[in-house]
Amino acid sequence: MSETAENCTHNCGTCSANCGSRTSEPQSFLEKLNPASSVKKVIGVVSGKGGVGKSLVTSLMACRMRATGAKVGILDADITGPSIPNAFGIHDGVTVTQDGKLLVPATSSTGIDVISSNMLLENETDPVIWRGPVIAGAVKQFWSETLWQDIDYMFVDMPPGTGDVPLTVFQSLPVNGIIIVTSPQELVSMIVEKAVNMAKKMNVPILGLVENMSYLECPDCGKKIAVFGESRIEEVAKEYGIPVLAQIPIRPEIAKSVDEGTVEYVKADFLDQAVKAVEEAKEKRNRSEHEVQGGEHGCCPVLFCVAGIDLARCLNVLRHSLLACRKNLE
């Protein structure tokens, strides 16, 4: 091992050595679609925490776009907690093309193409017990090894947080914009801020905010009741300069439709502005927006363009964690 390698801090921004680890040119991590597939726009549905209704928003947005006559697909990237197939009443497994090279998505009753990990399991209730890299690999395969035919709008339902899957989607798929889902609680500002900061670091356009469980409509007088407290969505949207696309009311019939697999027949007129935002999303992003520039974190751009920490610190934490595990085993 050379002296340079031994003394390497893995922070290219503080080093003048011209070694093999230095990445001088921007790198693109985009996964290519297979030649038989075609997808015009990719819209991610994200949130900084779980339980706010990302899958519901994904399902309803896909249905609304399908109602405009567009060809729509859903990539369920919530690998360990998939719920999209159930919302659409899809219980069959996936099939493959005649040559056995590509997965063929299931098609809902109104013509929405869906791919999900739940459709690969022998039993729908079987758990998916995979580690992060395997999950990230599955998301890439759903994109590149599935036959997506003439899709106008692809919605990607992501798991909560800012971990492996959102990072994989933002870097591997040509995301044209994201919708951030939240709820009317005190944590809303922090939830939105996490998603906003990640999107900015990854150069992903933010289409706007959707607040789920915003209010309950009195069936007698029509008064809006703030079941989970007064909404702060307008205040938060103004703080981050993001438009509010929708405030989804609490309606028992929506929950019932999802449970019964008939989400396609929900009247979601409250998503009109969100539909417009998706339609107006820039169809193609510049190649540079998908690239990660080497330099300060050039040795490992996949991780550190988001984390904002150098590799040496990360390896140090990992080493201590491994030592602690070893002591526990002893």
Higher pLDDT, 22 or 148: 148
Residues 6+ apart with CB under 8 A from 60: 248, 263, 266, 268, 271
Q: What is the pLDDT of residue 174?
A: 95
pLDDT digits (tens, 9 = 90+) for 235-275: 889 988 999 999 999 999 999 999 999 999 999 999 999 99
Per-residue pLDDT for 41 more than 60? yes
Residue 158 pLDDT > 80? yes
Nearest CA-CA partner of 145 in 33, 30, 28: 33
DSSP sequence for 292-315: E--STTTT-HHHHHHH-S-HHHHH
pLDDT band at 113 (very low <50, low <70, confident <90, very high): very high
pLDDT of residue 315: 47
Query: What band does 303 get if pLDDT is binned at 50, 70 and 90?
Result: very low
- If you average pLDDT over residues 134-159, what whole number do you get? 95
Q: What are the pLDDT digits (tens) for 76-100?
A: 999 999 999 999 999 988 899 999 9
pLDDT tens for residues 172-193?
Answer: 999 999 999 998 876 777 778 8
DSSP string across 36-76: T--EEEEEEEE-SSSSS-HHHHHHHHHHHHHHTT--EEEEE
Q: Is 246 helix (H, G, I), strand (E, B) or coil?
A: strand
The percentage of the chain sitting over the pLDDT mark of 70, rounded to a whole number, equals: 77
The residue written with tokens 């690998």 in the block is 79
Q: Domain spanning 29-291 has what CATH number?
A: 3.40.50.300
The model's pTM is 0.79
Which stretch of DSSP H or E encloses residue 206?
A: strand 206-211
What are the boundaries of each domain within the chain?
29-291, 295-330
Lowest mean pLDDT among 38-52, 141-155, 250-264, 274-288: 274-288
pLDDT in the model for residue 161: 83
**pLDDT above 80 (res 20):** no
Of the pLDDT bands very low, low, confident and very high (cuts 50, 70, 90), residue 11 is low
Distance CA 166, CA 202 (A): 10
164-183 as b/e: b if 16+ CB within 10 A: bbbbbbbbbbbbbbbbbbbb
pLDDT, greater one: 192 or 45: 45
